[in-house]
Amino acid sequence: MKICIYCKTVDQEKFKGVEHVMPQSFGTFGSETPTLNCVCDECNNYFGRELDQALARDTLEGITRYKKGIFSKEQRFPKNVKFELEETEENGEYGGTMLGGYDPLTGKPIGVIPQFWIKNIKKNKWEKYRINQIRELEISDEIYGSVGPGKREMRIIGSSKNEYDDVLSELKKYKIPYREKEMLSPPPFIEKADPTGKAELRINIIGNINRKIKRALVKILFNFSTYILGEQETLKSAWDKARNFVRNDEDTLSGRFSQEPFWDGQETKHFRFESNSYNIRIENKNGNVIGIIQLYNLFTYEFFLAENYFIPPEKETAYRLTPGKKPCKGIKMKIS
């Protein structure tokens, strides 16, 4: 009889699909793609909608998929990850300009997007808005600090006259008192472009790891633990905290993230394995079971899957998953 490892339902009618240990949006791994039969369809659908999409679309890892040739089926841009031009002397007053990131349909980089800036006197910084955010703006002394009439500093940035005009007409429509100025001279990165229009940009990518993203990552680790240890193991109460965090958004699981290499002793700061794979590992550490995950050589996330608990040492396992290839498996070696 099947029991769902997340909600513990025993309704046998609810096990029609399979759960992929690694969400399918990150690819599959041939005939050995790790899947589970012990996640009910209700939980599976809920995860697909709530967690997997957030991980795939709204994280640096998700966006990196596009660069690696895994594209989205629809053009939806991340809300949680921002691309900005670096604040360098070279970029001058364009430092902080918002860029479009990567096109989810093609993986191609998108340069400057039409945008509107207002100087916030209170915070002494420019606040930046996309054209579609203009309608929500409320320009007041309370938010942006007080300045004399007509003295508020504002600017429009776009990569063409058309984009400038689009922002301008949006400002007029919502009665934002922008005093028309000449367009700024073309941004330096456009002048530097080679004849095909390509320019090398130094950009900052700003993201934050919210609860949903954490839950999505813990789900992969919980799935992986079940795949390695069997559902009889992860159904035990030692795993409840992880289960309830993923499924019911209960108490946050402790964890940390770093840019440490994933493969201890094999990778260093300067030497890393190929950046097109996903690394996952479960192990005993300081009296707890820890799950570690890293996608595309980006951040290494560590979570306490089961506290004051341990798994049999021979079950401490690591996988390297590369889309389209069979998983590479490893077990922990004790060198004495």
User: Are 298 and 60 in contact, with CB atoms under 8 Å apart?
Assistant: yes
| C-alpha span between 268 and 273 (Å, rounded) | 10
CB of 228 to Zn ion, least distance (A): 20
Question: Residues 6 or more apart from 317 whose CB is under 8 A from it?
Answer: 228, 281, 282, 329, 330, 331, 332
User: Are 310 and 267 in contact, with CB atoms under 8 Å apart?
Assistant: no
Extract the runs of DSSP E, i.e. beta strands, from the chain.
19-20, 35-36, 81-85, 98-102, 109-112, 115-120, 125-130, 154-157, 203-207, 255-258, 278-285, 288-295, 300-306, 317-321, 328-331
Tokens 């001279």 -> residue:
185
Which of 40-48, 126-134, 267-275, 291-299 is the region at the interface with Zn ion (rule: CB under 5 A)?
A: 40-48
- Binding to Zn ion by CB under 5 A, coded x per residue (else -) over 131-170, reads ----------------------------------------
Residue 44 token pair: 């599976």
The residue count for binding Zn ion (CB under 5 A) is: 5
Residue 209 token pair: 């790891």
| Among 4, 38, 229, 311, interactor with Zn ion by CB under 5 A | 4
Judged by CB, which is closer to Zn ion: 192, or 236?
A: 236
Does position 246 interact with Zn ion (CB under 5 A)? The reply is no
Judged by CB, which is closer to Zn ion: 2, or 82?
A: 2
Judged by CB, which is closer to Zn ion: 7, or 298?
A: 7
| Among 22, 36, 38, 40, interactor with Zn ion by CB under 5 A | 40
Which of 39-47, 54-62, 156-164, 198-206 is the region at the interface with Zn ion (rule: CB under 5 A)?
A: 39-47
Does position 295 interact with Zn ion (CB under 5 A)? The reply is no
Judged by CB, which is closer to Zn ion: 14, or 82?
A: 14
Which of 35-43, 47-55, 77-85, 213-221 is the region at the interface with Zn ion (rule: CB under 5 A)?
A: 35-43
Cα 104 → chain centroid? 13
Does position 7 interact with Zn ion (CB under 5 A)? The reply is yes
Judged by CB, which is closer to Zn ion: 6, or 296?
A: 6
Classify residue 309 as exposed, middle or buried by CB count within 10 Å of its CB (0-12, 13-18, 19+): middle
Which of 41-49, 177-185, 233-241, 280-288 is the region at the interface with Zn ion (rule: CB under 5 A)?
A: 41-49
Judged by CB, which is closer to Zn ion: 50, or 103?
A: 50
Helix extents (H) in 95-230: 141-144, 161-173, 188-191, 211-229
- Binding to Zn ion by CB under 5 A, coded x per residue (else -) over 188-227, reads ----------------------------------------
| Among 38, 43, 290, 295, interactor with Zn ion by CB under 5 A | 43
User: Are 52 and 23 in contact, with CB atoms under 8 Å apart?
Assistant: yes
CB of 98 to Zn ion, least distance (A): 40
**CB 48: neighbour CB atoms within 10 A?**
17
Length of the chain: 336
Give the footprint of Zn ion on this chain (CB under 5 A): 4, 6-7, 40, 43
